[in-house]
Amino acid sequence: MKIIDASNMYYRDLNTMIDIETLNEKNITVKNVCGQRYIGRGLSSGVKIKVFGIAGNDMASYMNGAELEIFGNAQDALGNTMNSGKIVVHGNAGDTLGYAMRGGQIYVEGNVGYRVGIHMKEYKEMKPIIVVGGKAGDFLGEYMAGGAILVLGLNLDENEDIIGKFCATGMHGGVIYLRGKQDLYKFGKEAVKVELEDSDTSFLKKHIDVYAKGFDKDLTHIDVNSFSKYLAINKNPYSNMYCLY
């Protein structure tokens, strides 16, 4: 295993160093990260990177199969247009997590910011998944076109809500699972609540289990039937936007 000390390193130098190391070494630990951008960008499968510190913006953008584990908080746009692979964040993540994500999985132990999963999409077997342990900010799943978002709402104070407002605004694909019941006014008019099916509960069980193992938590108390499921009302809501009929 190779250890890189990122203290005071310029982000370009750090990423070049990681590129060179990954030619020979598949397990890399990067210590003392403080805001360096684009770590793990475009990284292919077979590589595992552990990051200690504050992961900079656009980490894992266009990532293509690698595994990242972050011990600390992640800033904005983690997993931007990520293609495949797995990201585990032992901390919180910022705004636009999983922006236009195309595949792979992101597990965040704590809370996430605004516009998480904005415009994530799916195609055939490519189905991106975001699992959030705590709460999410406004515009969760905005313009969502595919994949799945799961919010567990763990460890929230009484006055904290699992989601903010404008959830699923412009949603036209994919699925959002939120633990408990939510106020209707928090959703965009493009989403609708539907009943859970057997396939949903097994999906929820599977990913809650991955979360519990990944963060070493006992989540056996969570009842998968207590989740609310939201889908898009219309798969193509804007088809008539620019034409008269």
Q: Which parts of this chain interact with another protein (CB under 8 A)?
A: 11, 34-35, 37, 53-54, 56-57, 73, 75-76, 94-95, 113-114, 137-139, 164, 166, 185
Cβ proximity to another protein: between 77 and 149 the closer is 77
Report d(CA 65, CA 55) in Å as an integer. 19
Q: Which of 23, 122, 12 is nearest to 56 (CA)?
A: 12
- Count of all residues that appear for the chain in the document: 245
Nearest approach in angstroms of CB 54 to another protein is: 4
Written as six digits, the tokens of 147 are: 């994949």
Task: Calculate the alpha carbon distances from 4 to 15, 32, 227 in Å.
Answer: 11, 9, 42
Give least dist CB 57 to another protein, A: 7
CB of 18 or CB of 136, closer to another protein: 136
> Nearest approach, Cβ of 221 to another protein (angstroms)?
26
Nearer to another protein, 72 or 214 (CB): 72
* Least spacing, CB of residue 32 vs another protein, in Å: 10
Decide: helix, strand or coil at residue 106. strand
CA distance 90 to 134: 12
For another protein, which is the closer residue by CB, 53 or 104? 53
